[in-house]
């Protein structure tokens, strides 16, 4: 496993997930947790992500002029998905003109005691991002 360019590949797909491919963010987040201690199963998962990227090479972000210009946001939580420390994962995406303009996927800071609590934490994270984005937009006007 020492000859496998695991960290280099993770860096490349992380760049893609942050810039143009929000659909792979969760998977990249998961495999990047093993940068220092990866094994064959992790490399197999990374190759699966690469195969997915190859199959969906022509998928792209599309912003349409005639679509609804209102900002739409979606968020979700995966309750206690980390089996080691029982932390949940939060993900959100904001869409405008039919395409995503901001997205994120990361572990929650505290351990949720229920699915509802994890969902509320995800909603709070998305709301905080939205509020900060709106304040920055209004400050620049």
pLDDT tens digits, one per residue of 70-79: 888 889 898 8
Given this model, what pLDDT does residue 29 score? 86
Domain that holds residue 82: 72-140
Examine the domain organization and report whether 81 and 131 are in the same domain: yes
Q: Which of 125, 59, 62, 131 lies closest to 91, judged by CA?
A: 125
Alpha helices in the chain (DSSP H): 6-19, 25-32, 40-55, 115-140
Per-residue confidence band for 89, with pLDDT thresholds at 50, 70 and 90 = confident
Per-residue confidence band for 135, with pLDDT thresholds at 50, 70 and 90 = low
Give the contacts of 38 (CB within 8 A, at least 6 positions apart): 1, 4, 6
Examine the domain organization and report whether 92 and 130 are in the same domain: yes
Q: Tens digit of pLDDT for each residue in 37-58?
A: 999 999 999 999 999 999 999 8
Examine the domain organization and report whether 24 and 76 are in the same domain: no
Do 42 and 14 form a contact (C-beta atoms < 8 A)?
no
Q: Is residue 102 part of a domain?
A: yes
Q: Is residue 65 part of a domain?
A: no
The domain tally of the chain equals 2
Examine the domain organization and report whether 23 and 79 are in the same domain: no
Mean pLDDT, rounded, of the chain: 85
Question: Can you tell me the mean pLDDT for 24-43?
Answer: 91
């Amino acid at each position: 496993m020492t000859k496998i360019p695991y960290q280099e590949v993770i860096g490349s797909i992380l760049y893609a997930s942050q810039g143009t491919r929000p659909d792979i963010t969760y998977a990249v987040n998961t495999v990047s947790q093993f940068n220092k201690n990866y094994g064959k199963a992790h490399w197999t998962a990374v190759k699966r992500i690469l195969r997915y990227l190859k199959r969906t090479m022509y998928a792209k972000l599309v912003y349409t002029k005639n679509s609804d210009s209102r900002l739409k946001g979606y968020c979700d939580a995966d309750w206690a998905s980390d089996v080691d420390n029982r932390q949940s994962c939060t993900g959100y995406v904001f869409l405008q003109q039919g395409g995503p303009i901001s997205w994120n996927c990361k572990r929650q800071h505290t351990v949720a005691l229920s699915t509802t609590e994890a969902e509320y934490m995800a909603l709070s994270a998305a709301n905080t991002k939205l509020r900060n984005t709106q304040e920055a937009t209004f400050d620049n006007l």
